[in-house]
Amino acid sequence: MTKFAIIGAGNAGLAMAGHLKRLGAEVSLYDVVEEQLKPLAATNNVITITGPELAGESEIDLVTMNLAEAIEGAGLIICVTPAHVHRFVARDLAHHLVSGQIILLHPGRTGGVLEFQKVLQQQKCPAEVLVVEAQTLLYAARREGAAVNIFGLKKQVTCAGLPTAESRRFFDLIQPLLPQFIPAPSIWHTSLHNIGMLFHPTPTLLNLGRMESGQPFDYYSDGFTPSIAALIEKLDAERLAVAAAMGVTLPSVVAWLESSYGAVGQNLYEALQNTANYRGIGAPRLLGLNDKLKLRYVIEDVPTGLVPVSELGQKFGVKTPAIDAMVTLANILFEADFRASGRNLDQLGLNNLTPEEILSL
């Protein structure tokens, strides 16, 4: 049985580690933050899974802060960290990898494979490895200590590597255990099908006052008001326009909810109200002005979603005013420059390429 190394012990990392172990795999779990792993030390590395689809306990084979130890002998390394730290994971992995290993960015967000491969090259990684990106997370999950509640699993998650033809090795490895992972035609289909850039930054930015009030509310069923959902549909239209300019046909966010969770509606607001898997996922509560700076839905999804889609829009002649407005709002509220620090065309290695050369990838 192939060894799976999970990098990142957050919500989805714990879900992935526990689920794969219950399926009979050998699993190691790594995190750079000691506090993430302390609860597991208290349970002798046992993860407790709760939820409507999966429930039980999994004893992880190895829980460690030693990256080299975690990935030793692993056929598949699954990176379940926030996407804005992928570049640092690539830097740290570069000289521990061996040829033949496969890395899955779960999820890759927009341009994940390109950024990861570029950093490996900059670090002069001696190993020949395959990097694959998933379009989204398989799980809707929240952890508490050594337990993780899995609200639901998506019916399917598309994945692609570069070069695309080599991705078959990944699917041969993962599909016997997790058949939900299916091939996408190319990395542009996974990168431009980044649902996180729609579901995360805009509702978070427009609900900051509510989060700061201390009053609890469900992130999806309450936070996506009719007006916010309608705005997200405008961002979605711009994303689809960029994809069309690049020759990529993708489903709308409403159609994606139906294919992933079986949720239907005449518009995004209705579809989200009918998404049972999202019910009970609470919004963050913020304490003080600077508490928002830890909000992953902004600090991850703006630089790894909204920024690269906007940049690709500029390259392919597609205007993205709604997306650009959210980037600007995030920059102002977070006193940051996410366009400069995020996955811009230079960071992805695309700045000096023509549109035709980009598509030829």
Please say which residue of 161, 191, 221 terminates a domain: 191
pLDDT at 361 over 90: no
Both 186 and 202 in one domain: the answer is no
Q: Which residues, at least 6 apart from 163, have a Cβ–Cβ distance to it below 8 Å? A: none
Is residue 357 situated within a structural domain?
Answer: no
Q: Could you tell me which of 62, 59, 77, 64 has the C-alpha nearest to residue 36?
A: 64
The Cα 230–Cα 224 span in angstroms is 9
Both 321 and 232 in one domain: the answer is yes
Q: Which residues, at least 6 apart from 18, have a Cβ–Cβ distance to it below 8 Å? A: 47, 48, 49, 54, 58, 60, 148
Residue type, 145: G
Q: What phi, psi does 137 have (nearest 5°)?
A: -75, 145
Please tell me the predicted confidence (pLDDT) of residue 239: 98
Q: For residue 200, indicate whether it is catalytic.
A: yes
pLDDT, one tens digit per residue, over 183-216 is 999 999 999 999 999 999 999 999 999 999 989 9
Both 115 and 10 in one domain: the answer is yes
DSSP-based three-state secondary structure for 49: strand
Contact (Cβ atoms closer than 8 angstroms) between residue 51 and residue 279:
no
pLDDT at 340 over 70: yes
Q: For residue 84, indicate whether it is catalytic.
A: no
Catalytic residue among 193, 200, 324, 337: 200
Both 164 and 218 in one domain: the answer is no
Both 233 and 274 in one domain: the answer is yes
Q: Which residues, at least 6 apart from 360, have a Cβ–Cβ distance to it below 8 Å? A: none
Both 127 and 214 in one domain: the answer is no
Catalytic residue among 19, 301, 337, 346: 301
| Strands lying side by side in the sheet with 157-161 | 62-64, 26-30, 3-7, 74-79, 102-105, 130-134, 157-161, 181-183
Q: How many domains does the chain have?
A: 2
Please tell me the predicted confidence (pLDDT) of residue 233: 98
Quote the mean pLDDT of the chain. Answer: 96
The model's confidence at residue 163, banded by pLDDT at 50, 70 and 90, is confident
Is residue 356 situated within a structural domain?
Answer: no
Both 97 and 212 in one domain: the answer is no
Roughly how many angstroms between the first and final C-alpha of the chain, as a whole number? 33
Residue type, 153: L
Both 209 and 312 in one domain: the answer is yes
Is residue 222 situated within a structural domain?
Answer: yes
Q: Which residues, at least 6 apart from 355, have a Cβ–Cβ distance to it below 8 Å? A: 246, 315, 316
Please tell me the predicted confidence (pLDDT) of residue 183: 97
Is residue 358 situated within a structural domain?
Answer: no
Contact (Cβ atoms closer than 8 angstroms) between residue 195 and residue 109:
no
pLDDT at 326 over 90: yes
3-state secondary structure 86-148: HHHHHHHHCCCCCCCCEEEECCCCCCHHHHHHHHHHHCCCCCCCEEEEECCCCEEEEEECCEE
Is residue 360 situated within a structural domain?
Answer: no
pLDDT, one tens digit per residue, over 250-281 is 999 999 999 888 999 999 999 999 999 899 89
Q: What is the CATH number of the domain that holds 287?
A: 1.10.1040.10
pLDDT at 1 over 80: no
pLDDT, one tens digit per residue, over 127-144 is 999 999 999 999 999 999
Burial class of residue 33, CB neighbours in 10 A (0-12, 13-18, 19+):
exposed
The Cα 3–Cα 69 span in angstroms is 12
Both 222 and 85 in one domain: the answer is no
Contact (Cβ atoms closer than 8 angstroms) between residue 78 and residue 97:
no
Please say which residue of 149, 170, 191 terminates a domain: 191
Contact (Cβ atoms closer than 8 angstroms) between residue 64 and residue 28:
yes
DSSP-based three-state secondary structure for 16: helix
Strands (E), the chain: 3-7, 26-30, 46-50, 56-59, 62-64, 74-79, 102-105, 130-134, 139-144, 147-153, 157-161, 181-183
Q: What is the DSSP string of 302-329?
A: IIIIIHHHHHHHHHTT---HHHHHHHHH
The Cα 86–Cα 101 span in angstroms is 17
Both 102 and 247 in one domain: the answer is no
Contact (Cβ atoms closer than 8 angstroms) between residue 156 and residue 127:
no
- The proportion of the chain whose per-residue pLDDT surpasses 70, expressed as a percent, equals 100
Q: What is the CATH number of the domain that holds 169?
A: 3.40.50.720
Structural domain including 139 reads 3-191
pLDDT at 146 over 90: yes
Both 245 and 130 in one domain: the answer is no
- The proportion of the chain whose per-residue pLDDT surpasses 90, expressed as a percent, equals 93
Please tell me the predicted confidence (pLDDT) of residue 263: 93
Both 139 and 231 in one domain: the answer is no
Contact (Cβ atoms closer than 8 angstroms) between residue 219 and residue 229:
no
Please say which residue of 163, 191, 219 terminates a domain: 191
Please tell me the predicted confidence (pLDDT) of residue 336: 97
